[in-house]
Structures are given as structure tokens and as C-alpha cells.
A and B are shown apart, each in its own frame.
Chain A
Amino acid sequence: MPQIFHRSFNTISKVTIFGAVFIVAGLCWFAAIFYRSSYVTESHLAFVQPVPFSHAHHVGQLGIDCRYCHTTVETSSFAGIPPTKTCMNCHQQIWTGSTMLELVRESYRSGQSIPWERVHNLPGFVYFDHSIHVAKGVGCASCHGRIDEMPLTYQENTLLMEWCLECHRNPENHLRPKSEIFNLSWKAEDQTSLGQKLLHEYGVRTPHELTSCSTCHR
């Protein structure tokens, strides 16, 4: 009886079996990369907004404080998106004829909201609270990056759970003095010792407490 398979199949099958390990590993590697890519997380993607609002201009160049618009960041879970009235506080006086701002004026006249595209989008089962982070010495820039350098706002970080946990497990790496919370360009000289000091001073919970599931999910 003749052989069904040619002798070369021995080699081919060995290579295939050996190669399968790499293929599986490769697929896993690809999945991991893909899952963290900005295609999935939408980080570093600037959306087309109804009004091309520039944080770089308002914060970076004009130096308006974050809380002028995001008024409830220290008191509520939601930082607050400014009502049209807030825009008009200034734009009743300056750039009153700008075509770029027509939608803002239209909104103010008609009472219809400006439909902003949400940039930082969390799933419904995650309950994030701005106020407690600000109260415990986490700066705006820690999560939002250099907003003052963004012409159109984009999401600086992945907002994946592993990213949240990185800080909840080691909060000391991200704490700053309360005076510097809204300072986007602040850099610690010695984060290690400062972090330990602030951890104690602010009474930040232990990583065990911060990583309980119901801290964020409920």
C-alpha cells in the first residue's frame, strides 16, 4: 500500500504544531493591543463638535479657571457642562458677530440646548464621581491630560478599568496638593515622598477599600 502522505508532511506538521503556539500567542497579543487601541477606547480622537470650542484658547491662552464652566466639579459626581448662558456671559460682549458662534446665539435665543458630543463616555454600570477625586487631591490633568493644549477636546486616557485600577491600587502616584488641582501644568518634584505624605493627610482609603467592586459598580 502506498503512503498517503508524502514524507515532507512530517516536517510540515511539526512546523504547524510548533507554529500554532505562536499563532495563538500572536492572536492574543493582537487582541490585547486591539482592545487597548484608540479604535476601541476612542482615546486621542477629537470629535466634530457643533461649535468648535477650544480649551487651548480658553484655558491655555486666556487662563480661565476650570470651575468657571465646570461649576459642580467639587460638589457633584458630574462636573457640569456649562449652560449656554455661561458662554454668553462673555460672548455678549466679545466676538458678537462671529459666525462660529452663531449656534450659541441661536441656542440662547431659542432655548434649545447645544448638542455637544460626549468625549468621556463611561458605560452605564460605572458610577464615577468627580467631587471625591478632587477632594482627595487628584488633579484634572491626571485623567484629562493637558486640556489647556487641546484645540478640540479629546480623551487623553483609555478609560479602561485597568487604567482606573492603576490609580486605585497606587493612589500615591497621582496625588497633588489641593492648591494645584486645577493647575494643568503642575509637576511634582518628588512624587514618591509627596504622595505618601498626602495619602496620609487626605485620609485616602487603602487600595483594598478603593478596589471593592461596589466602589464604582452598583
Chain B
Amino acid sequence: MAVDSEGRRFWRSLEEYLETPEFQEMLHREFPEQASEWTNPVTRRRFLTLMGASLALMGLNGCSTQPAPREKIMPYVRQPEEIVPGKKLLFATAMPLAGVATGLLVESHEGRPTRIDGNPLHPASPPGSRDDAEVGSSDLLMQASILSLYDPDRSQGVTYRGQPRAWNEMLVELRRALDKLKSQGGEGLYILTETVGSPTLAAQLNELLDDEHFPKAKWYQYEPVSRSNVLQGAKLVFDEYVNTYYDFTKADVVLSLDADFLLTGAGALRYTRDFMSRRRVRTRQIKPAEVKMNRLYVVECGLSNTGGVADHRLALRASQIELFAQALAAELNVPDAPKSDKKALPDEAQRWLGPLAKDLRQHAGRCLILAGEGQPARLHALVHAINHALQNVGQTVKYTVPIEAKPVDHGQQIAELVKEMAERRVKVLVILGGNPVYTAPVDLQFAEHLKKVPLRIHLGLYQDETAALCDWHVPEAHFLESWSDGRAYDGTASIIQPLIAPLYNGRTAHEMLAAFTDAPERAGLEIVREHWRDWWKHQKRSGSFEEFWRQALQEGILAGTAFPPRELAPKPGWAERAAPAAPAPSAAKGMEIVFRPDPTLFDGRFANNAWLQELPKPVTKLTWDNAAIVSPKTAEKLGIGYVGGIRAVSGRPGPNGGEHGQAIVDVVELSYRGRPLRAPVWVQPGHADDAVTIHLGHGRWRGGRVAKAVGFNAYALRTHEAPWFDSGLEVRKVPGETHVLACTQMHHNMEERAPIRTASLAYFQEHPYFADELTAGETEKPAVLAQVPGPQPRGRAEKELEEERKKDPDKDRLIPLTLYKDADKDFAGASKGYQWGMAIDLTTCTGCSACVVACQSENNIPVVGKEEVTRGREMHWLRLDRYYDGEPFDPNRVSVHFQPVPCMHCEKAPCEQVCPVGATVHSHDGLNDMIYNRCVGTRYCSNNCPYKVRRFNFLQFADFTTSSLKLMRNPQVTVRSRGVMEKCTYCVQRIRIADIEAEREGRRIAEEHLLTACQAACPAGAIVFGDINNPKSAVYQCKEEPTNYALLAGLNTQPRTTYLAALRNPNPELIRPQPKRGE
């Protein structure tokens, strides 16, 4: 366990905290045990059987004398003007998710979209690191949706009860049914959509429901993870639906009530960027003593990423958060606030109220309170009132008209629809997107009642649960194949344009709806274009529509469509409308159950995306599974053994999990409202006691090979009355049953070497160089650093250094402690050219993991599957380590630190010294090159890498056979095969291309044109990459910061990747002294 200068201990799992012998053993292995052998006899035999044939073929293949296989060249017949073979093109479009659009810039190679980034001009995807960057930031769902586009499991044709049919046959049947309904004004026609954010789709639906068509038809919306509560809360206060968004650039103090605003929801990228812009500490212009940071308080139940970066975090059960808000409102004297019972809150929450209220009051107009979508509407109403009372409205809080085309209460909508179906009033049901059979509240028995509808038509990306119960299924076009439109969190409209013609003959919702009208074959482009042409005519803008349309497509936004902010105040009587309905549930009624969208699979729609399945969940680091997440104390109470069986109250013996990524955990039976559900348990420090969080989106029974049979289905407990949390949960351990979870948290461990350095702002102001710890022989430091390019550390005060030198045990040594030869003068240090380096700011990193998926997409990194992850073989080049510090048995004292670890590109790389074939060597610009064609797979390099950043293709992980996946690959990066080592290259392909372009034009590389994939994705701007020989570069300036430190610097590897220590800004009045470690 690592200990920092302030005596803080950092740990990654409970085993590490408790220091078990198994953990110690694990530390001394590189690739975890069993990583290089097939211990499961069945797998081993099957593998040998399978390999028998392919080995023989491989032998023959190896005999081929020609270095490259013969190929054909298929030129265009008429080459499109803008396409230059070998060069990428960028197209602006947008990604709709739950009714909100985020701007995209999609990279296309000869007509194949290969990669997704944010659109820098779009308000919801601003560049994180520099404003002039070529691309904007992105989140993990945006990044991974390129894989969904090429997913070979997507539905590939129209079916009628499972049999393939033609689109026209569907049209005929639909027309026949519609003709019957037409005479009754469309009574019996029901349309179910997800949240509609597309103005064109809304206009089409409204047209369909007008007097000339089907006035008695009904349109319902249902989205399992909706913003209903947010909108209903606004309605309680303002008596109308209102969209709320925030300006974090003006907020000095932020209080989040169960809102994971840095990771999820509309505008998360913009919020992260703005929030972190107030947290980035740079001392180039100002003295450390004058540095200011914003402050974040988080009150939440489960540990989220936002909670992880908070300055203060309070763990309350989800139901207690409303009580807390009421008490806070009382403390702040908010007019009309409901009565509160402070006494019902835990002690720690009561202790918070005074200092928090004081801090907020002092920053009135410059603070911000926000609540999560999982909290009830009443709480949202109260939060609006508090923000109003603190004069934040118009400053940090902005109100506009809703971005949804028709705001509704989704729970109520689906309940009404089911009622109609049960009463057999539904003659034709058209489901446009969504998967209600899987996601609808379990108590409504949607599937049961759906069967009563005579004609059921489903439009969806997959042959999923809903498709199976519908007569007709029509494959939906992916958004990268569609013409559509959408609105961002602030109302800015974007046109969604296709990057490729539908791969599987998909149709969009627009085209589907056109089938209801007299022009059934209208193309999506025409429909969307016509809508905006009408809009443009109303606007009475100058210029031609053609010009406007082209600009909209090119920029990805329709200029001036953001909704203007509105001045709103709580309407009188809001307090009565928002009065607490029921008395607060007490702990006596069992435990609390909390439903959350999965951090990577969302509501389950991404379940067939292997990148997202294998991406370690940002906090738990679980892959390919979900679990019932409980706090250590609750686990103890339930008699659940921890991971690894430590303190196994169950009495189950010893070492079996946590390490190696193979966590063998207990299984519990959750019973809630009479419904049982079995789930593996994950013990999560920082989670509120007496509550269980379960993630939606797993446990699919149809919808693709990847999606099926992964995890358990949390929807099986979710009712329409309590979609987010409720009490009354019974938890019982299932004796003798265990489950294997694949968790990467303990892979690639770096032992006790203080990888994370952190301090409070106050401590930093006194000791700016706190992170620059005495690691190498201090006396040798100048000699060592002289060989490293980039800024020379400005260093601490000479006196301070003198003190440390005296303490240095090696001060009398004459020969520097190094195994390496001095830097070759030809090499890095001496060069005047580009020298690439990276700095990662741990203060601003939120651990959102977008960088990991961005890297995976850019570098053709394969997935390996759950089985292989449990052997420690996952291939992500960039990993996000998560460390805890504090006391695991007190959820309020757990804080979290995230640390992205790519290859360090050491000046004196240990891996290079041991490669017998020279497959990893230094380049002239300081990169630690990996040459796949030379690699023979000895794995010496990864044994010798202290940072554990090398990944080995133990098996043939890359898919060379699925043709649709071939289209997706980045043509600039080699696809690696079995037996080859790989690792982060600093996106060398981008460096070389930028270099060639600059050389050709006789200029230097412009920094804004050269971003690594992880840097481009990062909304917080935490990753900075550039030329460390150039004092004007951002990375040089980062490395000059006093908080700059190198990982494991004492090994004298001289890494090119360095870190800026994490700073937090706690409220002095809320700090408690760190307690002694208690067992």
C-alpha cells in the first residue's frame, strides 16, 4: 500500500487495505498467475482440437515466401471529387441518445466511417484540452457507437413472425390495417417511441395525429432512463415544463445531490469541461498562494465518478437525500421551504449542514445546486427554489423551453399504454425504436399485454426481446446511416447526416412514419430537408436555403437555434404542490434498493457492444457483468465474505478472488415486492450502508451474441411506481453459491511506490513542490535530469533541498546508480527536433474512461472476453487505475483518485534493454517504438516494465474473419495477430501523418492538429500531449508546474509521461482529522 507525504494510505481493493498474503503473492507476479497456461481442461482440449487444423494451416501459411499476399486494386469508376485515397475526411453529424443530441465529427476513409470524435463547434462536445483543437471531446458511448454500426449481430432484414419478408409486404399489410382504421379517425392506432428530441420526427408525428390523418390515434413515449423527474420537478415549481442547464464556469461552489453530472446525462461533456476549467491549477502566471479552485460537495448513495472527484462526499441512502435537501433549505431560510426534520439525518449529515449552508450563502449567485434524475420531482422542485433563493438563476442556472418535443412522464405513459392494451383498445401498435419488452416496468407485465394487440410492428436495431413478440420487425438504420436531426442540452439543433448507406437495409423512424402517409417511399433526406426548409422560410433569413443547409451540414450545428434563456421564478403555491407525499421511510422496513443505468451499457441498448462490455466500469472496474453493490458494513451485516474471502463471515476458505481479475463472490437473493432475483455481490467502499445498487442493462435474453447471458436483469425488480429507489428490499445470502466476476482493479499493480500524489489546496499553497518527493538519489538528480529533454524543474527552495540531501542515504556515492549507458548524444536529449511527451493532470481527471475507448477505437485494439479478462489478459493500452484512500468501513471517509496509465515512453526504457530481437527500440523523437513484425513474443519486455503497460496477444484476439469489422478498422494502424506484444504508441500514426504534412508544406507541426486519441476525447483536458522541446507548448508548460511528478521516478527510467498531482479544495470547516487506521 502506498503512503504519501501527508501520511495518507492509498489502496485499490479491500484485500490491499487488509494486506492479505494472497495480495502479497500477487504483487510478485507480472501477468497474473495462469495467464500463460490453459488450466481449464475442457478449454484446453477444445483449444487443441480447434488448433489442430489451424496449426497445420498456419504451418503452410508460414511457408509462404512472399512477404505480402497478392492483392487486387479496385479503383473507382468515377472518383468522387472530395475523396483522396489514403486521406481521411471528417463529417459533422450528431448522436441522439434519450432524446438529446451530441455533436460528432466522424472520420471516414474512402467512404467507411472508422472513428468518432466530438464536434468542436457543437456546444455539447467542446474540445477539452485546447479551444482550437481539430476535434471536440467525446464520451465512451459516442466512441463505442462506431462498433454498434458495424455490429454483425444487428438485424438484417424485415421479418414477419421470424420469417424473412420484403419491406413492401410490410407496407401492404400496414396500409390494409390503416385503411380500416381511417374511417374511425385512427382509433386503435398507437405509436410508442422513445423520447423524441428530433424536431422533424415530432412534426411528422404531429402531422399524423392531425385532423386530416388519424386524429384519434395516440402517441406514447417511454424511455427507461428518462429525465421525467427533472421535468416534473420543474413543472411543480414553474407550472410548466422547463429545461434546465448549468454554467459551471461561473460556479465557485457546487452541490450535487445524487447527480453524476460529470459522467452521465445531457451536456456531461460541456459540464466536465467547464467545471474542470475552474479546477485546473497553473502557476505560470500566478503564485501558488493566489491559486483558486472551485469546490464540489456531493451527496449520493452509490459511489459515482462525480463523487470520486468531490472535495467533500457524503454517503446517504437515496431516500435520505431529500431529507438532507429539506434540512439544507431550512438552514438557508429558503422561503416556503417544506418543514424539515434535521434529527432524522445521520450525524455526519447534520454536521455538514452548517458549514455547507455558510459556504453556499457566501457564494450566493456564484454557486450551483443540482439534483440527479433518479431523485424525485419534489426534490428537483426544492432545488429550483434553493437556487432561486441563492440568486443563482440567470448566473449558474439557465432555464429554457424544453428540448424534448413533447415532455411527458414516462412512467405514467407506459402504464397508460399497458392499460389500453389490456382493455384491447389497441388495434395497431407501432414501436419506433426502444425495447419495451425488456425495459418496461415489471409490474405492468408489458409483454403479457402486448400479445393482445392484433398487429404489432417493431422498428429496432436488433432482433431483440421486443422484436420477438412483434409480428413485423423492421431493421432500424443506425444513426450513422440516417438522415435525422436533434437538439442539444441547450436547444442547439443539429442535422444528423449519414456516413454510409445502410449496411443492413435499415430504415429510419422518419421513413417508417412516411409509410403512414400518402408518400410512403419518401427518403429520409427529403423529409428532414423539407422540415428545415419550412423552418428556414419562417425565420426569414437572408441568403439561399441551399447555402444555409450546406453550412448546417458542414458545421454540424444550425447557428442560432439554441433556446434563449428565460427568466423564471417559483410560482406561488409550489411548496404545497411539492410537499412530501409520504413520511420518510425508515430503515426498519428492510434495505433500500437503488436502480441505476449501467455506466457503460446505459439502459441496455449497448449490451451487444463488446467494447463497452469489456471496458472496466469507471468505479467498480467490473467487466462483462453487473452486481449487487453494497458497502463493506452492509456486507458484514449480511454475512457476505469480501472478495477473496477475507473476513469471510461465511466461513468460506481463503484465497480465491480479487487478484487476477477473477473475483469469486457470494450470491445473494434480492427480494423486493415479492419478486426474487439472484445477483452476485460486489463490496464497494464508499457506498451508503443499508442500500443495494443494481445496474440496469444486463441480463438480456435476446439481441445479439455479446448481449445474451451477461449479468442479471435488474429490470426484473423495477416497478413503475419506484423506478429509481425504494425501501423494503430483503437481502438473503444464498449459501454455497458463488459467481465469478471479472474485475480489472488489481491487474497491473505497481506495488508500494506512491503512484498517486495528492494534497489539499491549502497544503499545496504552503508546499508547492509536495509531489516532488525524494525518490532517486537526490545528489544524482541534476545529472540525471540533464539528460532529459523538456523543462528543467524549477525546483524547491535551495534550503529545503539541502535538508533532503543530508537525509539522502546515497549522498556519498560517486558512481550514479544506473544500469543504463549515458544518453547517446545522437539521441533524444540532444535533439533539437520534436520530442514528444505527455502530462496528465490528476486534479481534473474524472475517471470517465472515454480515453480508454477512444484508444481502443483508434488503435484497433481487440476485446478478449470475460474468460480472458479473469486471466488478466485484457488488451486496453490505456488503463484507468482507481485508488481509494481513507477508511473503508466509514463510507463518508472514502475518497477516490483516478489515474490513467498509458505507456510512459521512458527515456531509459527497461523493456528495450531486454528484448532479444530489437522489437522495441527508441525513435529519434523519443518514442518507445513497438515493432510488431519483429516481435517473437518472449514477453521479457513486459516482465521488465515497472508500469505494467504492455499487453500481449496470448491468443488470436483480433477478428480477421468478420467482414463488417474489417470495415471499421483504422487503416493507419497494423492489426496485430497472436504472439505479438503491443502497447501505447502515443498514437504514432497521427504523429507521422502530421509530420509528413508539415514537412511537405515546409512548416512545423501545429499543436492543435496533433492530438492523441485519448487527449482528443478527454472532456476535462486532463491529458496534454506535445513537443517537450518547445517551451511554448502546453505540455512543456504543464511539466514546469511544481506539482509535476514522474511515476516511479526512483527507478530512473525517466518517463516522458508525467503527472500533475491531484489537488482538492476541502472546506476547512468540514475537515476532520484523519483517524488512525481502525480494524
User: Residues on A close to B: CB < 8 A?
Assistant: 34, 39-42, 72, 75-78, 80-85, 107-108, 111-118, 121-125, 127, 129, 131-132, 135-136, 160, 203, 205-206, 208-209, 212-215, 217-218
Contacts and interface: CB of A to CB of B under 8 A. Distances in A.
B923 A212 contact: yes
Interface string B918-947: 000111110101011100000000000000
Contacts of B996: 77, 129, 131-132
Contacts of B922: 212
A212 B972 contact: no
Nearest to A104: B77
A81 B72 CA distance: 11
A136 B1000 CA distance: 8
Given A72-B84, A76-B85, A121 B992 contact: no
A90 B989 CA distance: 39
Given A75-B84, A78-B86, A85-B78, A218 B73 contact: no
A114 B922 CA distance: 43
A75 B933 contact: no
A115 B985 contact: no
Contact of B972 (A72, A135, A206, A218): A218
Nearest to A121: B68
A41 B66 CA distance: 6
B68 A122 contact: yes
Contacts of A205: 924
A116 B72 CA distance: 6
Of the candidates B71, B826, B991, the one having the most CB atoms from chain A within 10 angstroms of its own CB is B71
Given A78-B85, A213-B921, A115 B931 contact: no
A212 B929 contact: yes
Interface in B581-636: none
Contact of A76 (B73, B78, B86, B924): B86
Interface residues of B, number: 44
Interface in B851-884: none
B951 to A, nearest CB: 16
Q: What 7 A-B pairs have minimum CB-CB distances, sorted nearest first?
A: A78-B86, A212-B923, A113-B74, A83-B76, A76-B86, A81-B75, A123-B68
Contacts of B75: 81-84, 113-114, 116
26 contacts: A34-B65, A72-B85, A81-B73, A83-B75, A85-B79, A111-B77, A114-B74, A114-B75, A117-B72, A118-B73, A123-B933, A124-B974, A127-B992, A129-B996, A131-B996, A131-B1000, A132-B1000, A203-B999, A205-B924, A206-B924, A209-B833, A209-B925, A212-B924, A213-B923, A214-B931, A218-B989
Nearest to A112: B77
B937 to A, nearest CB: 15
B861 to A, nearest CB: 14
B985 A83 contact: no
Nearest to B924: A209
A81 B79 CA distance: 10
Contact of A218 (B66, B77, B921, B973): B973
A135 B68 CA distance: 27
Summarize B's interface: helix, strand, loop or mixed.
Answer: loop
Given A125-B974, A218-B972, A42 B931 contact: no
B754 interface: no
Contacts of A116: 72-75
Given A77-B86, A118-B71, A125 B932 contact: yes
B831 to A, nearest CB: 8
A217 B79 contact: no
B973 A214 contact: no
Contacts of A39: 65
B525 interface: no
B972 A123 contact: no
A46 to B, nearest CB: 14
Nearest to B859: A218
B731 to A, nearest CB: 52
Interface in B833-847: 833
Interface string B48-83: 000000000000000001111111111111110000
Contacts of A218: 972-974, 985, 988-989, 992
A121 B66 CA distance: 10
A76 B84 contact: yes
A218 B986 CA distance: 11
Nearest to B87: A76
Contacts of A135: 999-1000
A84 B72 contact: no
Contacts of A108: 77
B975 interface: yes
A135 B996 CA distance: 10
A140 B475 CA distance: 50
B933 A217 contact: yes
Contacts of B992: 127, 214-215, 218
Contacts of B84: 72, 75-76, 80
Nearest to B80: A83
B931 A217 contact: yes
A123 B69 CA distance: 7
Nearest to B920: A213
A41 B65 CA distance: 8
Nearest to B67: A123
Contact of B988 (A42, A115, A214): A214
A136 B975 CA distance: 30
Interface string B953-968: 0000000000000000
Of the candidates B65, B68, B972, B973, the one having the most CB atoms from chain A within 10 angstroms of its own CB is B68
